[in-house]
Amino acid sequence: MNIFLRVGLFCFFFWGMIACNNNKPAESATNKPVADTTQFYPIARFISDEMKYVDLRNFTILEKRNKGTDSSSREISKDDFLSAAGEILQQAQWFMANKYLFNESIFQDLGTESYTINYSSNNAPIKNIDLLLNQQTNLPKRLFIRVIQQSGDTTITEQYSWIANKQFVISSSKRTQKGFNESNSKEISWKNQDQ
């Protein structure tokens, strides 16, 4: 039994020395880069896909403009459509690059059979984004983006809304502390020429 005790003690000290002589520094949370694990809905991809969808088809594209009490409408080219839609895409891309500034909340609306995903921030020009997803398919039905900026005594509010496979609206209003109000909007819609 004496021999087993000696072998056991030898193994115990041998393994202890190996464990203590490990010269690798311990990995800590501060040594590792932190990955962004926040999974927000890819709204920039949604807008980009919609733009490609319209660009690849033979749709009639109409633009309606309102400024104050004046309104006009006209047919526009695909290039004009892509330029106007690019404004919304730019906002969506900015949001995706700065999503850490936003809080997410989700609401299920049984009446419209949709989920509403809301992104809000007090620290970014984009104050609010609402995305309505079809409850069955999880595909977007509507998108709303609200941007509010201050320039001197003027508050500028821009609202972007997109209805999937149908239209988008860009509206802007300017308000001063002295009561001056100015608003305008641009609605762009598309439909198949056979309809």
Q: Check pLDDT > 70 for residue 74.
A: yes
Q: Are 7 and 71 in contact (CB under 8 A)?
A: no
* pTM for the model: 0.76
Domain ranges (residues) in the chain: 43-192
What's at 126, amino acid-wise?
I
Q: How far apart are CA 125 and CA 146, in angstroms?
A: 9
Q: Are 169 and 186 in contact (CB under 8 A)?
A: yes
What was the pLDDT predicted at 178?
Answer: 80
Confidence class for position 93, pLDDT limits 50, 70, 90: very high
Is the model more confident about 156 or about 178? Answer: 156
The secondary structure element, H or E, covering residue 143 is strand 140-151
pLDDT in tens, 130-173: 999 999 999 999 999 999 998 888 899 999 999 999 999 999 99
Q: What is the mean pLDDT of residues 126-132?
A: 95
Alpha-carbon distances of 186 from 4, 14, 33, 73, 109, rounded to whole Å = 90, 79, 44, 9, 29
